[in-house]
Structure 1
Amino acid sequence: MASSYGPGSSEPDSTGKKSDSKLESPRTQYLLLMTFSVVIGLAAALGAFFFRWLIEIFQSAFWTKGSDFLESAANSPWWLVLLLPCAGGLAAGVIITNWAPEAKGPGVPEVIKAIAVRGGVIRHRITFLKALVTSLLIGCGASVGREGPIVQIGASLGSSVSRIFKLDKSMLPVCVAAGAAAGISATFNAPLTGTLFAIEILLLDTEISYISHIIVASVTASALSKFFWGDFPTFDAPHFTFNNFEELIIFFILGILAGFVSLAFIAMIRTTENIFDKIPIKDWIKPGIGGLILGLIALKIPGVLGVGYETVNLSLTGVLPLDLALLLLAAKMVATSLCLGSGMSGGIFAPSLVLGATLGISVSTGLNMLFPSLALTHSQYALVGMGTVVAGTTLAPITAVLTVFELTYSYKIILPMMVGCMTSTLVVRMLNGYSIYEAKLLRQGVNIIRGHDESVLVNVAITEVMETDFDTLKMSDPLSKAMEMVLSSPFPHFPVLNDDKKIEGILTLRDMRPYFKDQNYLKELPAIVDSIMNRTIVSVPQNSNLKEALMLFERTGVSFLPVIDSENKVIGIIKSIEAFKKFQEKRQRNRILSLAVKN
């Protein structure tokens, strides 16, 4: 810009104020947060139990009786298969559109956004409405998963518990992540998977001491889930044996194929979202259309309905023929994309497991047909396939490895899983660069930043940094008044307003300096502020964050920024020195639990 606003000194702001939190001591804060982790774990497990109970209620109420959901759907009359997903989509569309827009979609991107953008704040109502909407959709046959919604339910409970008990704001993201981890742990009875899911996918930065709180919540939820459901196996996972290291080449190939399946899945969801966005009808109707198309597919392929665990178990038992496995692979991808693209609520974790299981058994069956001497075990390739597609869609290979490990408790599966999952992740990272969750956030204009310092910047709102006690000038004010204010102010930088109190320019000591050198300088000009003010304005909107402000300071060299509202009125100012102080304060505060507690 033509003129910087110039450097200037400032009075101390409120950074020295005592925190509103009652948890002043780091040691006390650490111990109390550990206690709250147990509470969050219990709450998340109860939320998961309530959610799964609702699913069972809706499925038993709507469908013909059967030994499992797939048999119930296959035995139901054709008109029910066709219309029930549509009816569920319409009902869910009304609830989502009018009362809970955050309940739309998988759930995990919404939690990531809440942590990265809103500091972990999730509305209290989301806990119940997410459970209600998603359980209704799954109960009606929607081709979505239940894990993503359980993550959002657990995260919402973690956010609510921390705010109800008025924990320090800096602890809110940890509580949200602990609730999400507890939800996953309760679903799979897998505390390690829950913990790694929170760390690898949800948290943008992690302090070592925070991990213990997440583990406590995850273990608590797993223990309570055993009380509700017993020591249950999520899948009929077979015993895994691995003795032929030459098979690692096949697992490597499986990883490459899983990467391309993941890319196709991500692209198909994005395409269906674009198509439904362009349909000129009310948003609440779109899930009904998606449900109707799903019903048409299900008339021929009932296996696309519901979460899809029945298909996974068929793959793990090795009884799924090649043609049916390939058909279910393609049909499930289309069905889930339709549901999520039309605006339904539901996860992608379970559909990814289905895609991986059908891909794995397709590879093993196909190779056995071509090379009978290989004698590949179908169930083992289904297991590894599950992990590789999950790794490709989420770009979380460690979580994928641990998910399958905790299903089998066999150390022999780790090496094949690592080969397949890392290969799949590498393919997606090289050809796309974003996970399925990050891709959905990009559609909303949210570019997630990985790294401690930058996430601290994003989490600090402009309104936390700005000063509301500041001086202004009017365009019509005489220069004599401006001169007096410049001489008497400790920070001679003034927004200049018009008669409607909207900003029109900036007046600083630098603009007045020629007058102080030669008072004849202004004789040829009207003796008002409008004649010498700088009309090039660098400002920030009130909904910005500290990262955007610091980038402006660096790019323009100005020493302060007016904060403007939607009507172009100044509601505060940010001084560059105070913005950098706030960053240092927040960074230090977020790391306080990792510092040694002295004395």
Structure 2
Amino acid sequence: MPDKVIEPHTRAAIPLAPSLDATLAAAHMPRQFRPLDRRVLWIASLAMALGVIVALVAQALTGLIGGVTNLAFYGRWSFAFVSPANNHLGWWVIAVPVVGGLIVGGMARWGSRAIRGHGIPEAMEQVLLNESRIPPRMTWLKPVSSAIAIGTGGPFGAEGPIIATGGALGSLLGQWLHVTADERKTLLAAGAAAGMAAVFSAPVSAVLLAIELLLFERRARSLIPVALATVVGTGVRYLLEGNEAMFPMPELAAPGLAALATYIVLGLIVGVVSVGVTRLTYAIEDGFEKLPIHWMWWPALGGLVVGVVGYFMPLTLGVGYSNIAAVIAGQMSLTGMLALCVLKLLSWSVALGSGTSGGTLAPLFTIGSALGGVFGLCLMAWAPWLHVDPRMAALVCMAAIFAGASRAFLTSVVFAFEITQQPHGLLPLLGACAAAYLVSGLMMRNTIMTEKIARRGVRVPSEYAADYLDQILVRDACSRDVVSLRATQPLSEVRPWLSAGSVAARHQGFPVLNDDGQLLGVVTRRDLLDLHTPDEQSVGSLVQRAPLCVREDHTLREAADHMVEADVGRLVVLGKTATHAMVGIITRGDLLAAHARRLREARHASRHFGRKAAN
């Protein structure tokens, strides 16, 4: 029979055996959570050094794109960053993207297939499935292939390849050094964010991009290194190119209430457009998958479309940063913006669907800003009482299409502000991007960033919430009805009791007390019923180690981690004030039961709002 069943709230805490008193807390307590430790100093130092390297690589890649562009479209040796739109090749311009596609296809086949696409989904996949290990060859294959694709007229932005290259460099650094998987993920995100910051002088949005698309968390130990990397990357850009806004535009006035409401409605419309753009891109990719030729040749076919469109609309060729600047500054006509929006979408979606190497940010910004500019001019002509500024409309639609397509909501808002430095644009940006995010979330399960890897069975976190177990203390979930056994009891006395099937006997673990009522350890039901152990052996002889403990003021997350690390299913709970006294037991079942309240609230809300919707 058990020594006693201790009723809750009616018994004194059980003291631990004197021999265990001095060492138990230090040896068998879970590690207390700390938001930061000295290890962060080392990772932050590496991240800052990485920021310098990635910023220089961004400059080199920009120069390489310029070199390929000058050679391919103008027949000259120069690394100046120029637009291919002013070429005089005539019909020969169609052949240039085709040649670029052939080269990229060959690099993908004999180098690495991972260079295809814009790189962020592949980086996300490595973070989620491969402990942030990106193959070292990607550090040069991705930027070179992207420079060839973009330099030969590919309608992509340079930022995607630079972000992917920065992430690859961070991952490579983490593989060279002795760091954990989490620290390697931080370095990958730091490199990617530094690349974005170095291209656009947008450090804050680069940090947000890392949080929303790469880190899948917001913790101090990862946030600080990433932030420092973006500061350093932006500082290098300031040193080399100055601190002017990436896309300067005339100062915008604060919008009135009618104009603000209009911008939010535009965000809703652009949200629908972003869903259509995403589905169109993947539909084209699915179409290429059905072609009866090797995927190596697909980028050349995509290049053919790019070349034909580029012949009729040269502005669609290349990164098109100057197009974005012209649209949001109000320097492009209605017909020019409409043609740019439609033809850039056609050229970019076919090229991206063909599997060539390039980015998504600049093309989406071009499409969104041109569409917004068209809306703005039409509203200014047809409804002047709304006081809609076409430049503001272009700005908010530019950000809203990226917010809807990628669901990087905060990144989109802050990025549009940082690259234009227009403070009066923040409120319309916030409203329009929120509206686009809402529509996208309701209409589309995956995003332009996650659809590809979701099809491969990778589940990408889309929402970040505080750990529920980290919000509950052990004292609120542990069992205080502790069924204990005496150390001197023989197994012949305990085994029949276990077989009787009483509620108390169905427990899976039992504290063992000596004759003075002091805790010696814990034995499991399996230990007690082991047929290889003779009946005459005492219960105390089965205790192999001091009990694994947790205090009342630990969280359930700390308790759960302690159980996993020790490979046990229960922990002795010690008092908060009398820290060497047992006050209860917490089991895996208690951890699961702690979720009951959350699930009850969710079910209640579902039933409540479900009835309202039905009515």
Residue 238 to residue 136, structure 1, CA distance change in 2 (3 Å):
same
What is the aligned partner in structure 1 of residue 54 from structure 2?
Answer: 44
Provide the C-alpha distance between the structure 2 equivalents of 1:584 and 1:406, rounded to a whole number of angstroms. Answer: 49
Task: Please tell me whether the aligned partners of residues 185 and 194 of structure 1 are also in contact (alpha carbons under 8 angstroms).
Answer: yes
What is the aligned partner in structure 2 of residue 58 from structure 1?
Answer: 68
Alpha-carbon deviation of 1:49?
Answer: 1.3
Provide the C-alpha distance between the structure 2 equivalents of 1:374 and 1:409, rounded to a whole number of angstroms. Answer: 24
Residue 416 to residue 443, structure 1, CA distance change in 2 (3 Å):
same
Task: Please tell me whether the aligned partners of residues 428 and 434 of structure 1 are also in contact (alpha carbons under 8 angstroms).
Answer: no
What is the aligned partner in structure 2 of residue 377 from structure 1?
Answer: 389
- Residue 458 of structure 2 aligns to a residue whose secondary structure is coil
Amino acid at match of 1:444: R
Cα shift readout 1:44-103 (whole Å, capped 9, x = no counterpart): 112211211110111111113899844x43432223310000000000000012112111
Alpha-carbon deviation of 1:452?
Answer: 7.5
What is the aligned partner in structure 2 of residue 27 from structure 1?
Answer: 37
What is the aligned partner in structure 1 of residue 353 from structure 2?
Answer: 341
Q: Which moved more, 1:372-381 or 1:124-133?
A: 372-381
Provide the C-alpha distance between the structure 1 equivalents of 2:235 and 2:202, rounded to a whole number of angstroms. Answer: 10
- Residue 246 of structure 1 aligns to a residue whose secondary structure is helix
What is the aligned partner in structure 1 of residue 324 from structure 2?
Answer: 312
Q: What is the aligned counterpart of 2:311 among 299, 306, 309?
A: 299
Provide the C-alpha distance between the structure 1 equivalents of 2:567 and 2:452, rounded to a whole number of angstroms. Answer: 31
Cα shift readout 1:342-374 (whole Å, capped 9, x = no counterpart): 110111111111011101111111112212444
Q: What is the aligned counterpart of 1:109 among 95, 117, 121?
A: 121
Task: Please tell me whether the aligned partners of residues 47 and 229 of structure 2 are also in contact (alpha carbons under 8 angstroms).
Answer: yes
Alpha-carbon deviation of 1:139?
Answer: 0.3
What is the aligned partner in structure 2 of residue 390 from structure 1?
Answer: 402
Q: What is the aligned counterpart of 1:133 among 137, 140, 145?
A: 145
TM-score scaled to structure 1, two decimals?
0.70
Provide the C-alpha distance between the structure 2 equivalents of 1:243 and 1:336, rounded to a whole number of angstroms. Answer: 33
Q: What is the aligned counterpart of 1:165 among 164, 177, 197?
A: 177
Residue 84 to residue 454, structure 1, CA distance change in 2 (3 Å):
farther
1:145-160 to 2 correspondence within 5 Å?
145-160=157-172
Q: What is the aligned counterpart of 1:418 among 406, 410, 430?
A: 430
Cα shift readout 1:171-222 (whole Å, capped 9, x = no counterpart): 1111111111111110111110111110112122232332111100110111
Q: How many residues align?
A: 446
Q: Give 5+ residue unaligned stretches, structure 2.
A: 1-34, 468-525, 533-559, 569-615
Provide the C-alpha distance between the structure 1 equivalents of 2:400 and 2:124, rounded to a whole number of angstroms. Answer: 22
Provide the C-alpha distance between the structure 1 equivalents of 2:420 and 2:429, rounded to a whole number of angstroms. Answer: 12
Task: Please tell me whether the aligned partners of residues 55 and 138 of structure 1 are also in contact (alpha carbons under 8 angstroms).
Answer: yes
Cα shift readout 1:249-282 (whole Å, capped 9, x = no counterpart): 1101110121122111101111110110110111
Whose radius of gyration is greater, 1 or 2?
2
Task: Please tell me whether the aligned partners of residues 259 and 386 of structure 2 are also in contact (alpha carbons under 8 angstroms).
Answer: no
1:238-257 to 2 correspondence within 5 Å?
238-257=250-269
Alpha-carbon deviation of 1:26?
Answer: 7.1
Amino acid at match of 2:241: W
What is the aligned partner in structure 2 of residue 442 from structure 1?
Answer: 454
Percent identical: 28
Task: Please tell me whether the aligned partners of residues 360 and 383 of structure 1 are also in contact (alpha carbons under 8 angstroms).
Answer: yes
Provide the C-alpha distance between the structure 2 equivalents of 1:451 and 1:428, rounded to a whole number of angstroms. Answer: 14
Provide the C-alpha distance between the structure 1 equivalents of 2:215 and 2:119, rounded to a whole number of angstroms. Answer: 15
1:472-511 to 2 correspondence within 5 Å?
none
Amino acid at match of 1:54: L
Task: Please tell me whether the aligned partners of residues 248 and 420 of structure 2 are also in contact (alpha carbons under 8 angstroms).
Answer: no
Task: Please tell me whether the aligned partners of residues 256 and 387 of structure 2 are also in contact (alpha carbons under 8 angstroms).
Answer: no
Task: Please tell me whether the aligned partners of residues 65 and 81 of structure 2 are also in contact (alpha carbons under 8 angstroms).
Answer: no
Amino acid at match of 2:141: L
What is the aligned partner in structure 1 of residue 337 from structure 2?
Answer: 325
Amino acid at match of 1:581: V
Q: Which moved more, 1:276-285 or 1:157-166?
A: 157-166
Q: What is the aligned counterpart of 2:131 among 110, 116, 119?
A: 119
- Residue 356 of structure 2 aligns to a residue whose secondary structure is coil
Q: What is the aligned counterpart of 2:233 among 218, 221, 224?
A: 221
Amino acid at match of 1:266: T
Establish whether residue 183 from structure 1 lines up as the match of residue 166 from structure 2: no
What is the aligned partner in structure 2 of residue 469 from structure 1?
Answer: none
Alpha-carbon deviation of 1:109?
Answer: 0.6
Alpha-carbon deviation of 1:236?
Answer: 2.7
Establish whether residue 581 from structure 1 lines up as the match of residue 564 from structure 2: yes
What is the aligned partner in structure 2 of residue 8 from structure 1?
Answer: none
Amino acid at match of 1:365: L
Residue 181 to residue 68, structure 1, CA distance change in 2 (3 Å):
closer
Task: Please tell me whether the aligned partners of residues 205 and 450 of structure 1 are also in contact (alpha carbons under 8 angstroms).
Answer: no
Provide the C-alpha distance between the structure 1 equivalents of 2:452 and 2:253, rounded to a whole number of angstroms. Answer: 38
What is the aligned partner in structure 2 of residue 206 from structure 1?
Answer: 218
Task: Please tell me whether the aligned partners of residues 315 and 378 of structure 1 are also in contact (alpha carbons under 8 angstroms).
Answer: no
Residue 368 to residue 450, structure 1, CA distance change in 2 (3 Å):
closer
Provide the C-alpha distance between the structure 1 equivalents of 2:134 and 2:65, rounded to a whole number of angstroms. Answer: 23
Provide the C-alpha distance between the structure 1 equivalents of 2:354 and 2:462, rounded to a whole number of angstroms. Answer: 30
- Residue 38 of structure 2 aligns to a residue whose secondary structure is helix
Provide the C-alpha distance between the structure 1 equivalents of 2:175 and 2:111, rounded to a whole number of angstroms. Answer: 21
Residue 160 to residue 68, structure 1, CA distance change in 2 (3 Å):
closer
Establish whether residue 287 from structure 1 lines up as the match of residue 270 from structure 2: no
Alpha-carbon deviation of 1:431?
Answer: 0.4
Task: Please tell me whether the aligned partners of residues 145 and 349 of structure 1 are also in contact (alpha carbons under 8 angstroms).
Answer: yes
What is the aligned partner in structure 1 of residue 501 from structure 2?
Answer: none
Task: Please tell me whether the aligned partners of residues 360 and 384 of structure 1 are also in contact (alpha carbons under 8 angstroms).
Answer: yes
- Residue 437 of structure 1 aligns to a residue whose secondary structure is coil
Residue 36 to residue 365, structure 1, CA distance change in 2 (3 Å):
same
Provide the C-alpha distance between the structure 1 equivalents of 2:189 and 2:364, rounded to a whole number of angstroms. Answer: 22
Provide the C-alpha distance between the structure 1 equivalents of 2:108 and 2:330, rounded to a whole number of angstroms. Answer: 40
Residue 389 to residue 452, structure 1, CA distance change in 2 (3 Å):
closer
What is the aligned partner in structure 1 of residue 205 from structure 2?
Answer: 193
Q: Which moved more, 1:284-293 or 1:164-173?
A: 164-173
What is the aligned partner in structure 2 of residue 433 from structure 1?
Answer: 445
Provide the C-alpha distance between the structure 2 equivalents of 1:454 and 1:290, rounded to a whole number of angstroms. Answer: 44
Provide the C-alpha distance between the structure 2 equivalents of 1:101 and 1:582, rounded to a whole number of angstroms. Answer: 38
Alpha-carbon deviation of 1:137?
Answer: 0.6
What is the aligned partner in structure 2 of residue 506 from structure 1?
Answer: none
Provide the C-alpha distance between the structure 2 equivalents of 1:50 and 1:440, rounded to a whole number of angstroms. Answer: 29
Amino acid at match of 2:49: V
Q: Give 5+ residue unaligned stretches, structure 1.
A: 1-24, 456-509, 517-576, 586-599
Provide the C-alpha distance between the structure 1 equivalents of 2:397 and 2:567, rounded to a whole number of angstroms. Answer: 45
Provide the C-alpha distance between the structure 2 equivalents of 1:139 and 1:51, rounded to a whole number of angstroms. Answer: 11
**Aligned-CA RMSD value:** 2.9
Cα shift readout 1:470-506 (whole Å, capped 9, x = no counterpart): xxxxxxxxxxxxxxxxxxxxxxxxxxxxxxxxxxxxx
Task: Please tell me whether the aligned partners of residues 189 and 214 of structure 2 are also in contact (alpha carbons under 8 angstroms).
Answer: yes
Alpha-carbon deviation of 1:450?
Answer: 4.5
TM-score scaled to structure 2, two decimals?
0.68
Provide the C-alpha distance between the structure 1 equivalents of 2:69 and 2:246, rounded to a whole number of angstroms. Answer: 19
What is the aligned partner in structure 2 of residue 272 from structure 1?
Answer: 284
What is the aligned partner in structure 1 of residue 421 from structure 2?
Answer: 409
What is the aligned partner in structure 2 of residue 88 from structure 1?
Answer: 100
- Residue 245 of structure 2 aligns to a residue whose secondary structure is coil
Amino acid at match of 2:56: L
